[in-house]
Structure 1
Amino acid sequence: MRLEVLLPFRIFADKADVLRIVAETRDGSFGLLPRRRDCVAALVPGILTYESEADGEVFVAVDEGVLVKIGDRVQVSVRRASSGADLASLRDAVRRDYLTLDALTLSARAATESLESGFVGRFARFHAE
């Protein structure tokens, strides 16, 4: 398979001859082998694992995103990704950087929605008068 890990402004990884891929979704981890049916999966922050003869087993910390498999091509599009030699440190990075930021993002969204609903309410009252 050919694996591409895409970030918003660059290609993080482009690997040929990938033997297997393991990704994480809300429903748990799932694996891809070369002859698996085409699919689309929503990814959660976690560890993406792939294996090739050239690189062996490689671990990549990824933020939320989407995985698309069509034929022998697998594209993973995520907001952020990082690699490292130590799996434990990558897991810590996911917890510290990606999951924490998601909590901050949710908090910011809630604040924005509150402001928007207040504005809409005032706007509706203004036009009712």
Structure 2
Amino acid sequence: MFDGGYIPFFSREDFEGIPSSRAYRARKQFEAVVDRAIGDRVRSDGACGVDLWSALTNVEWHGSDDQIVSYSFRAAGDLVTWVREEGNYIEWYCSGEPGIVAAWISGALAREGWSWAPTTRSNSES
């Protein structure tokens, strides 16, 4: 009988001894680079946030260690809000043209070891 107390879906023992797959490692590294390389500019000018959203959508970013990251339209909005340290993804969702990488972003991220290529599919749904 349920007594109103907490009943966990999983228990601690379910996770004991299981290491992380680090499936999100490339994305975390890329996001740290974005914040370091262009974060100040994105925080100082909202139009640069639009440029960032456009550069994240319908694009794959490739790192030097065979890392590949891509973003859905929503996830791109989440990253812009994280870098700007304000707002909500919906403020940036479809704020620019998907798949357009501004030269200032391409150059800054290239200096950090990241290159880009257009994706072969739209990532508006994922």
TM class by shorter chain equals: under 0.3
Q: Which TM-score applies when normalising by structure 2?
A: 0.26
Which structure has more relative contact order (CA 8 Å, sep 6+)? It is 2
Q: Which TM-score applies when normalising by structure 1?
A: 0.26
Q: Higher strand proportion, which one?
A: 1
Please say which structure displays the higher CA radius of gyration: 1
